Amino acid sequence: MRLICFDLDGTLIYSDKVHLTAIHATLKKYRLKDHSNEEFLKLFGLPLHIILERLGYPKKIIPTIVEEHRTLVVKKTHKYAKAFPGVKNALIKLKKHYNLALLSNSSHREVMALLKGAKIDFKLFDVIIGGDEVHDGKPNPEEIKKAEKILHLKADYMVGDTIYDIKAGKRARARPIGVLTGTVHGQKELKKQRPWRIIKSAANLPELLI
């Protein structure tokens, strides 16, 4: 069997509202300076602690913000997650021909909650790796390498909506496939990274890979 690695947020599900609601509530709770949705969105795809560093939050408070954000996603805001049209059926079709790995810079428990909110069966994936289970998240290829080690397979494809997914795929020597369902990077930004393919949605993968 061959292996396809998937990003989650912006690739299989729409989750901007999930994360934005959680981060705004967290910053309000700790009476910290907030930022606009646009300021956060342009950095989505990176691990949250890096996003917070780039926005200038003190390093000593970042772990507290990250943990509170995770708790809110798991307990409350995951309900806003929605699977992109056609994605569930595409995963079912691909599962018959490939091993599927789900790789996210969100924590493992956030990923499980997001899948529940989006009504995607976690059993479709042969392995699920969260950002809290590696030292460095994407664009580092560590998540891909860990999936390869667990499944004893070389990743054939890395599917994602941001340049960080494309970079991680390239560094792992997997063929990167960019999807245009995310809100962070459009076709122009993805194209600059020279992915193997750019497609409209992960829902179109079966016609490309089967």
Q: What is the CATH number of the domain that holds 170?
A: 3.40.50.1000
Same domain, 142 and 154: yes
Same domain, 9 and 33: no
Domain total of the chain: 2
Same domain, 72 and 137: no
Decide which of 38, 56, 79 is a domain's last residue. 79
Domain coverage including residue 24:
16-79
Query: Could you tell me which of 46, 39, 110 has the C-alpha nearest to residue 81?
Result: 110
Same domain, 91 and 37: no
CA-CA distance, 63 to 109, in Å (whole number)?
16
Same domain, 10 and 20: no
Say if strands 2-6 and 98-103 run parallel, antiparallel, or are unpaired: parallel
pTM above 0.75, yes or no: yes
Size (the chain), residues: 210
Q: What is the CATH number of the domain that holds 23?
A: 1.10.150
Same domain, 98 and 60: no
CA-CA distance, 122 to 136, in Å (whole number)?
23
Same domain, 71 and 40: yes
Decide which of 79, 110, 129 is a domain's last residue. 79
Longest dimension (CA), the chain: 51
Same domain, 135 and 203: yes
Same domain, 130 and 186: yes
Same domain, 35 and 130: no
CA-CA distance, 47 to 65, in Å (whole number)?
13
pLDDT in tens, the chain (210 residues): 899 999 999 999 999 999 999 999 999 999 999 999 999 999 999 999 999 999 999 999 999 999 999 999 999 999 999 999 999 999 999 999 999 999 999 999 999 999 999 999 999 999 999 999 999 999 999 999 999 999 999 999 999 999 999 999 999 999 999 999 999 999 999 999 999 999 999 999 999 999
